[in-house]
Amino acid sequence: MTASIRAAAPVSGPPHAHRLPEGAALAEAARAALESRGEQWTQLRAAVFESLGGFDRPASAYDIAEDLSRRQERRVAANSIYRILDLFVASNVAQRIESANAYVANPHPGCRHDCIFLVCARCGVTLHLDDDAIAGQVRAAAAAAGFRAERPVIEVRGLCPACTAGGGD
């Protein structure tokens, strides 16, 4: 797996050790987050999480359905993947990248942040940042306008380091 979707430590906010588990440890943290909501980590949900983590850029329900259909040699319907992704987002196990209309695995399922995403317009690689001070200011600005913020969506489109250097796809 590539580390294209990666996270930096939070640069501000209440200091806490931001553990970013990977591989089996990440799947275990995702499972714990789901089970803490009384949901079960079924085989299909585990397979969706694994598939999602295998993409090096945000994946749609169709991408995952196609990947699982190939691996399991049976047709997996995108509709059932949508429902699982919705549950994953609600459980902090995955995150929706609005501008890409797709999803990434959350590298910190045990910890909620208003994550900031840097989305490469050329190759699609998406970098993940946590800066609670910026997100907090967005929430405060919304509140000052009398708006009750549910979830700030902070996505920056541009070119990733590889594409900036002339590489990328």
| Min CB(152)–Zn ion separation in Å | 12
Q: Which residues in 123-162 contact Zn ion (CB under 5 A)?
A: 123, 125, 130, 160
| Min CB(168)–Zn ion separation in Å | 4
Whether 1 and 54 have beta carbons less than 8 Å apart is answered as yes
Smaller CB separation from Zn ion, 13 or 54: 13
Whether 102 and 43 have beta carbons less than 8 Å apart is answered as no
Q: How far apart are CA 120 and CA 60, in angstroms?
A: 16
User: Candidates 20-28, 72-80, 103-111, 133-141 — which segment interacts with Zn ion by CB under 5 A?
Assistant: 103-111
Whether 15 and 115 have beta carbons less than 8 Å apart is answered as no
Q: Which letter, b or e, does each residue of 14-33 get, where b requires 16 or more Cβ atoms within 10 Å of its Cβ? A: eeeebebeeeeebbebbbeb
Establish if 104 lies at the interface with Zn ion (CB under 5 A). Answer: no
Smaller CB separation from Zn ion, 58 or 65: 58
Q: How far apart are CA 132 and CA 138, in angstroms?
A: 10
Q: Among 26, 85, 120, 135, which residue interacts with Zn ion (rule: CB under 5 A)?
A: 120
Smaller CB separation from Zn ion, 68 or 104: 104
Q: Which residues in 41-80 contact Zn ion (CB under 5 A)?
A: none
Smaller CB separation from Zn ion, 23 or 167: 167
How do 154-158 and 102-105 pair as beta strands?
unpaired
**What are the residues binding Zn ion (CB under 5 A)?**
18, 111, 113, 115, 120, 122-123, 125, 130, 160, 163, 168
